[in-house]
Amino acid sequence: MWAIAFIQAIQIPSVYKWGAEKGRVQMFVLLFIIIIIATGAGFLIKQSNFSIDMEMVENLINRFGLILLIATMIIMYFVSYKISYRIYQNKEE
């Protein structure tokens, strides 16, 4: 659910800015860059022998997981709305 919201939050301003075809291409390029950065960060964390207490992470997710999910989705859509609104205003002028 979060991944779909993330893709939509990126796609909406992209379509306003570059149109449907170019916006889709821009979205895939951006997602590819995000995946490369996340993979690189994971690799660096693994190489640095950084230990994570999985029990603490599990407790955090059990307590605040739904709240964090909803909050990040609201923030993503709010930022997407603000960007789209600014793009739309600039096109009208």
Residue 67 has a pLDDT of 92
Instruction: Indicate the number of domains in the chain.
Output: 1
The DSSP string of 34-69 is: HHHHHHHHHHHHHHTT----HHHHHHHHHHHHHHHH
pLDDT-based confidence at residue 93 (cuts at 50, 70, 90): low
Examine the pLDDT at 74 and tell me if it is beyond 90.
yes
On the question of pLDDT at 77 being above 90, the answer is yes
Question: For the residues 2-28, what does the mean pLDDT come to?
Answer: 84
21-73 tens-digit pLDDT: 888 888 788 889 989 999 999 898 888 877 777 888 899 889 998 899 999 99
**CA–CA dist 83, 85 (Å, integer):** 5
Of 13, 10, 4, the closest CA to residue 28 belongs to: 10
Structural domain boundaries enclosing 56:
2-92
